[in-house]
Amino acid sequence: MIDHLPERLDLLATAEAGRALQGRMPLARLERVLPALVSSDGELQVVFELGKDPAGVRFLAGTIQGEVTLQCQRCLEPVVQALDLKFRLGLVQDEAAVAGLPDHYEALLVTGEPASVAEIVSDEVLLALPLVPLHQQDARCEGIMKDYQPSANETRESPFAVLAELKQKQP
């Protein structure tokens, strides 16, 4: 196993050679993930295994472990999200080959250019992040929701009231 993650990797050649790589990926390198994070401090432990299965399908299997800090959408305070991801990608060179992949693979379209390792990690992390990050079982966060009481005197006009008025004015 190679104890280093390169910037770029020729996925097809590495799969043909049957290599495994591992290393740490700083969160600051995951440019597409950064907008979802509160902090870019920290790093993820990444393991890639590339090879060919008995059916001849070239694959990239891997794990990503670590923690990212998101913003709780209930209390707007930081919330730590643990990541323990496992993935198995079938390496395909064109759209037609996607249909031929076995069900236990997700497709990764590979061009002739070396792939960015950070982009592959970013894709997997983005797929794993919750749509609405929330604290789980946190008294501070739950207290905000218990204290919230909508105004009883608040009356809201229907957003369609203007349309009803226009409909009545037309002959």
Distance CA 80, CA 140 (A): 15
Beta carbons of 134 and 79 less than 8 angstroms apart: yes
Any domain includes 159: no
> For residue 153, what pLDDT is reported?
64
* Residue 170 counted as domain residue: no
Domain that holds residue 58: 8-149
**pLDDT digit string, tens, across residues 36-91:** 999 999 999 999 999 999 988 999 999 999 999 999 988 889 999 999 999 999 99
Query: Is residue 16, in this structure, part of any structural domain at all?
Result: yes
Euclidean distance between CA atoms 15 and 114, whole angstroms: 12
What is the per-residue pLDDT across 101-141, written as a single tens digit (0 to 9) for each?
888 999 999 988 899 999 999 999 999 999 999 888 767 67
Q: Are 81 and 130 in contact (CB under 8 A)?
A: yes
Looking at per-residue pLDDT, the higher value among 89 and 170 belongs to 89
Query: Is residue 81 assigned to a domain?
Result: yes
pLDDT of residue 13: 92
pLDDT of residue 53: 92
Is residue 169 domain-resident? no
In this structure, what token pair is assigned to residue 59? Answer: 């694959």
**Per-residue pLDDT reduced to its tens digit, 81-108:** 999 999 999 999 888 888 888 889 999 9
Mean pLDDT for the stretch of residues 13-24:
93
Angle at 55 between CA 49 and CA 59, to 5 degrees: 25
The domain tally of the chain equals 1
Q: For residue 33, is it within any domain?
A: yes
Q: Name which of 12-21, 51-60, 64-73, 157-166 the model is least confident about.
A: 157-166
Q: Give pTM, 2 decimals.
A: 0.78
Q: Is 158 inside a domain boundary? A: no
Residue with tokens 């919750």, as numbered in its chain: 130
Question: Is the pLDDT score of 146 beyond 70?
Answer: no
Q: Work out whether strand 106-109 and strand 78-92 pair parallel, antiparallel, or are unpaired.
A: parallel
Residue 32 belongs to some domain of the structure: yes
Tell me which residue of 92, 121, 89 sits closest to 104, measured CA to CA.
89
Strands (E), 77-166: 78-92, 106-109, 115-116
Q: Tell me if residue 77 falls in helix, strand or coil.
A: coil
